[in-house]
Amino acid sequence: MEELGGDTLKSFSVVPSFGGYFRSVKSIAEYSPERIVLLQRKTSIILEGEKLEVGKYFEEDIFIKGNIKVITVE
């Protein structure tokens, strides 16, 4: 993954209409059922969708429940 330019410490997986699992999350900057902004060291992950909620947060890994429609990495 690193050879292709990806950072294995800041990865995520998303299952349509179910939610997503995000790694290396330092904090949550914004939280609503339609939008969640996750902060990592150098990037922000913006999630937009419906019925979004935090399922579990443990040791910088977070599970977000809901229908994630758009993910933007800045």
Q: Over 60: is that where the pLDDT of 24 sits?
A: yes
Q: Is residue 68 part of a domain?
A: no
How far is the C-alpha of 40 from the C-alpha of 16, rounded, in Å? 23
pTM, 2 dp: 0.83
> How would you class 38 by CB atoms within 10 Å of its CB: exposed for 0-12, middle for 13-18, buried for 19 or more?
buried
Q: Over 80: is that where the pLDDT of 15 sits?
A: yes
| Domain extent at residue 33 | 9-63
What confidence tens digit (pLDDT) does each residue in 31-73 have? Answer: 999 999 999 888 899 999 999 999 998 888 999 999 999 998 8
Which pLDDT value is given to residue 11? Answer: 77
As for how many domains the chain has, the answer is 1
Q: What's 46's domain CATH number?
A: 2.60.40
